[in-house]
Structure 1
Amino acid sequence: MNYFLYPLRFDAPVHFGTAECGGGLEHTRFTLPSDALFSALLAEMYHADETVPARTFLDKVQKGQLRFSDLLPWQETSNGELYFYLPRPILPVKPADCSSMSYASVCHMASAWKQQKKIGYIRASRMAAYIKAVQEGCSFIEENTFGQEVLRQRVNCREEESLPYFVDSFIFDNSSGLYVILAAEQEEDAAFFANVLTFVGLSGLGGKRSSGYGKFHMADDSIQLDDYEICGADDAALYHLLQGKQSSWQMALSSVIPEESELDLVCRGAYRLRRAGGFVTDDSFAEKKNSICLIEAGSCFGTRINGQMVSLGTHGGHPVLRCGYGLYAGIAG
């Protein structure tokens, strides 16, 4: 597979729904899961009457010729270097033998473990250092600020009585944004993916797009991750993690819906579930989708679980699809 990285810079606040918090407007996250990105890409092509490219895109995803990650954070330093972050891996931690340790040492280890759990994202080039800190029970500090969360009050004037409501949003700093990793069998698919991302950026991602939320543009040209054109420490780390199929743990970089035959592999891993639901994207008709639970990015398994595409019902005679194919980074454990 060929790996490509697309950094996106957001021109407006984003509101990415959180079904696990009830799906209300008063809660948001600042990253977007791969299943929501897939739906946005496919919907954009159908809305533009690009039926043939949409079907080709869907066919390649289902055949495993295209895989992509969640939208994950990046940050630009003062010297122009880009830092790329990965989700904190959910690893099973073996209980340490504390019988020969002092009380102060045990307290220090417990404090370090709590600090590690608060970390959301880790630089790709520091992933090995984080794994070592987890294994040794040492503290690990990863300080990053990608923007700020803002809760704004709005007024609904469409009803007879005007009522206030709140919209939570995230505003990225000028030096931050989100990126997506594409795994493609054919290099020409990279340009096609970039074009679709460009069109989606004009209409926006997430909720409240009618208010201008979620609009973005490509912050730079796509970066091909390989052995020949490595630009920075995180680029090199990402490439080797993506290639690490033989590593003891495989960390999901996308949302995964395992097949029934893969459930035993899931049970032997460490994972976190996310409920996904929402409404069909259609300006003329709002129809609620069936909810489903997906395995979140950051979950770790002993092998790479393929996942599947599932149908959550039909709308206008067409199936409503939820993409749950996995993209993985191999990490030591």
Structure 2
Amino acid sequence: MQHYLYTLCFDAPVHFGMAERGGGLEHTDMVMTADALFSAILAELSAAGAHDALRELLNAVQQGSLRISDLLPWREREDGTWDFYLPRPVLPEDMAAQTRPDSYAEACAFMSAHKQQKRLSYIRAGRMQEYLESLREGRPFDEPAAFGQENLHQRVNCRGEEPLPYFVGSFVFHEQAGLYLIVSTESEDVVEATSCLLEFMGQSGIGGKRSSGYGKFHLADDAVLLSEDAVYGEDDAALYRLLTDEAAEWQMTLSPVLPDARDIETVAQGFYHLRHVGGFVTTAALAEKKNSICLLDSGSCLHERVPGSMASLGQNEGHPVLRYGYGLYVGLGGIRKG
């Protein structure tokens, strides 16, 4: 499949909920997961009455001819090149133990560097191999990445008998920063349709608090076909090499994965974070409890590219409530287990 890059610039603050990670309305994430984005796309198509387009999208995903990543951060440098960031890999804890310090001072420096690296959330695509080498050798790794600012706003709920205050978290991207999406597909028609769909969704916004104007965006550029030839800088070429490296020892997912039962043994040999997905389907008349599942979160590392699956969490108004759980991977070369 070919890999296309879409860059999003946000015209308003965003609120990406963190309820699945234990956060309330006052907390917000900076990125949007692929399963949440896919649900938002289906909801927009359904609300617009584009049922044929919705069925075509589902068929493409279920047949394996379309995969999407999380919305991940990018930023533009002063020299005009763009940096594209990937999740920090979930790697074995004993990986850094390959280098053993010879003294107490070296041991303290080693542990300090290891803790500093664990605090990182995102690594530049072009520096991923450097990060992995520094982790193995116990060297400090500095990755400055300022994408914007998180804010907290006070609001008042006036629906009850007594006005009650509450807080809403939001994230405001810098002017030269935003989120990017990778779409892997076999069809050029999907590329154009995705651009039109993203432009349409940008007018109404994505994420939470859209009624307050949150989440509005526009595309910074046309879709770019990733290849060895850099367009924005070294990072987009690095993205292509990582996406096409299927022979690497570890494969890191850029989207949540719901493995089939036959893939559980493969998953058990990897390193991953689980994210619980549940909640309610809300309508004007009622709120109906959905089934709960656990997804392998982005950054999880497996030995093989597990395809993943689509989950049906229940029914709502005669149609299934679906959750996207297909994997899109990058290969992490030069890593060895243990």
TM bucket normalised to smaller: over 0.9
Name the TM-score, length of structure 1 as normaliser.
0.96
The residue identity in structure 1 corresponding to 2:224 is I
Structure 1 residue 23 displacement after superposition: 5.0
Aligned to 1:210: 211
Q: What percent of counterpart residues are identical?
A: 54
Q: Report how far residue 200 of structure 1 moved.
A: 1.1
Distance 1:161 1:43 in 2: 34
Q: What are the Cα deviations for residues 273-321 of structure 1, in whole angstroms up to 9, with x where unaligned?
A: 1122344375665444333221111110001011100100000010000
What residue identity is the alignment partner of 1:204? G
Distance 1:50 1:96, change over 3 A: same
Q: State whether structure 2 residue 54 is matched by structure 1 residue 51.
A: no
For 1:153 and 1:288, the matched residues in 2 are separated by 29
Counterpart mapping for 1:107-146 below 5 A: 107-146=108-147
Give CA deviations for 1:52-101 in whole Å, capped at 9, x if unaligned: 01100011001110001000000011222111000011111326267761
SS in 2 for 1:91: coil
CA distance in 1, matches of 2:199, 2:286: 26
Once residues 176 and 62 of structure 1 are traced to their aligned partners in structure 2, the CA distance between those partners, rounded to angstroms, is 33
Alpha-carbon deviations, 1:155-176, whole Å to 9, x = none?
0011111000010111111111
Contact 2:252 2:298 in 1 (8 A): yes
Per-residue CA deviations over 1:218-274 (Å, capped at 9, x if unaligned) read 011111102356442001100000000000110000011111111111110010111
Once residues 176 and 279 of structure 2 are traced to their aligned partners in structure 1, the CA distance between those partners, rounded to angstroms, is 31
Unaligned runs of 5+ in 2: none
Q: Is the 8 A contact 2:131 2:141 kept in 1?
A: yes
Tell me how far apart the structure 2 counterparts of residues 290 and 184 of structure 1 sit (CA, whole Å): 30
Map of 2:304 onto structure 1: 303
Residues 1:227 and 1:172: Cα distance change in structure 2 (over 3 Å)? same
Match of 2:164 in 1: 163
- What stretches of structure 1 of length at least 5 have no aligned partner? none
C-alpha separation in 1, matches of 2:291 and 2:78 = 45
Matches of 2:251 and 2:148, distance apart in 1: 29
Q: Label 1:207 to 1:277 Cα distance change in 2 as closer, same or farther (>3 A).
A: farther
In 2, Cα distance between equivalents of 1:104 and 1:11: 49
User: Distance between the aligned counterparts of 2:263 and 2:100, measured in 1?
Assistant: 38
1:183-227 residue CA offsets vs partner (Å, 9 max, x unmatched): 001122111111111111111111111111111110111111023
Q: Which residue of 2 aligns with 1:92?
A: 92
What amino acid sits opposite 2:16 in the alignment?
F
Q: Is the 8 A contact 2:2 2:184 kept in 1?
A: yes
Q: Which region of structure 1 is more displaced relative to structure 2, 248-257 or 200-209?
A: 200-209
Give the residue type in structure 2 aligned to 1:91.
L
Q: Secondary structure at the match of 2:8?
A: strand
Q: Which amino acid aligns with 1:256?
A: V
Letter in 2 for 1:54: L
Question: Counterpart of 1:129 in structure 2: which amino acid?
Answer: E
Q: CA deviation at 1:20?
A: 3.4
CA distance in 1, matches of 2:61, 2:76: 31
Aligned AA (2:105) = A
Q: Helix, strand or coil: the match of 1:303? A: coil
1:167-182 alignment runs, 5 A limit = 167-182=168-183
- SS of structure 1 residue aligned to 2:193: helix
State the one-letter code of the partner of 2:191: A
Distance 1:5 1:282, change over 3 A: farther
The DSSP-based 3-state class of the residue aligned with 1:324 is coil
For the pair 1:31 / 2:39, whether they are aligned, the reply is no
Which whole-Å CA distance do the structure 2 matches of 1:79 and 1:174 have between them?
Answer: 15
SS of equivalent to 1:236: helix
Paired residue total: 333
**1:185-204 equivalences in 2 (<5 Å):** 185-204=186-205
Alpha-carbon separation, structure 1, partners of 2:284 and 2:211: 10
CA contact (8 A) 1:3 1:181 kept: yes
Specify the alignment match of 1:60 in structure 2: 60
1:81 pairs with 2:53: no
**Judging changes above 3 Å, is the alpha-carbon distance between structure 1 residues 244 and 97 closer, same or farther for their aligned structure 2 residues?**
closer
Query: Using a 3 Å threshold, how does the CA distance of structure 1 residues 229 and 130 change in structure 2: closer, same or farther?
Result: closer
1:137–1:2 Cα change, 3 Å: same
Alpha-carbon separation, structure 2, partners of 1:245 and 1:295: 19
CA contact (8 A) 2:250 2:304 kept: yes
Q: Compared with structure 1, are the counterparts of its residues 152 and 104 closer, same or farther at alpha carbon in structure 2 (3 Å cutoff)?
A: same
